[in-house]
Amino acid sequence: MSVGILGTKVGMTQIFDESGKSVPVTVIQAGPCTVTQIKTKETDGYMAVQLGYGEVAQKALNRPELGHLSKVGAGPLRHLKEYRLADSAQYELGGQVKVDIFEPGQVVDVIGTSIGRGFAGYQKRHNFRRGPMAHGSKNHRLPGSIGPGTTPGRVYPGRRMAGRMGGCQVTIRKLTIVRVDTERNLLLVKGSVPGKPGGLLNVVPAKQVGK
């Protein structure tokens, strides 16, 4: 129930902490995001703010999208994302959300799209064991049995099989923010995040489960 920020993955590197230990970090170029819409209880039934990120050319957006953004007076923005809030009154239309909403040491969740693996087999997609490679075996990367015989006479739904892998939304939870660079709009997060450099990321304060 608090506002996050949209950003782009820049890449990974390592930095040294105070004790001289090397910490693996992901660099995220986040914000500044423009508040493009404020949802209130009266008009929408719930409280939220919508943030826009990623300036693009005018022709990249269609007219409904441009019309929506023209109410704010912001330039054409590629990505819009809504954050539900307990109180959305403190935000004003056209305002900016920058990386200074985070501070070093804070725990965040990073949401992004994982790297697409295409049509992946059993081993890569579901961590199946492989068959023996030698002694005349022809069963190398096959799944083995996928169910009983005449009874039930069908394969049960949910059976893990080969198919499209990756390219779906992934949340990496509880990553620590190591450094916040307000000048260059950078966030340094300990650990890895989904996707390739250049991918869109959504950084939100860590969700507390069970509270």
Binding residues for other proteins (CB under 8 A)? 10-11, 13-16, 20, 22, 27, 29, 184, 186, 188, 197-198
- 38 versus 188: smaller Cβ distance to other proteins: 188
Q: What distance, in Å, lies between the first and last C-alpha atoms of the chain? A: 12
Least distance (Å) between residue 28 CB and other proteins: 10
SS3 185: coil
**Smallest separation (angstroms) from other proteins to the CB of 205:** 23
Contact 41, 86 (CB under 8 A): no
Residue 30 beta carbon to other proteins: minimum distance, rounded to whole angstroms: 12
Beta strand 22-30 pairing with 48-55: unpaired
Closest distance to other proteins from the beta carbon of 174 (Å): 23
Residue listed under structure tokens 């300036």:
55
CB of 37 to other proteins, least distance (A): 30
Q: Which is nearer to other proteins, 160 or 196 (CB)?
A: 196
Min dist. Cβ of residue 13 to other proteins (A) = 5
User: What are the backbone dihedrals phi and psi of residue 158, each rounded to the nearest 5 degrees, phi first?
Assistant: 95, -5
What does the alpha-carbon distance between residue 31 and residue 100 come to, in Å, rounded to a whole number? 10
| Three-state DSSP state, 68 | helix
Q: What's the length of the chain? A: 211
Which strand ranges, in their side-by-side order, compose the sheet holding 77-84? 77-84, 48-55, 33-39, 96-97
For residue 207, the 8-state DSSP code is: P
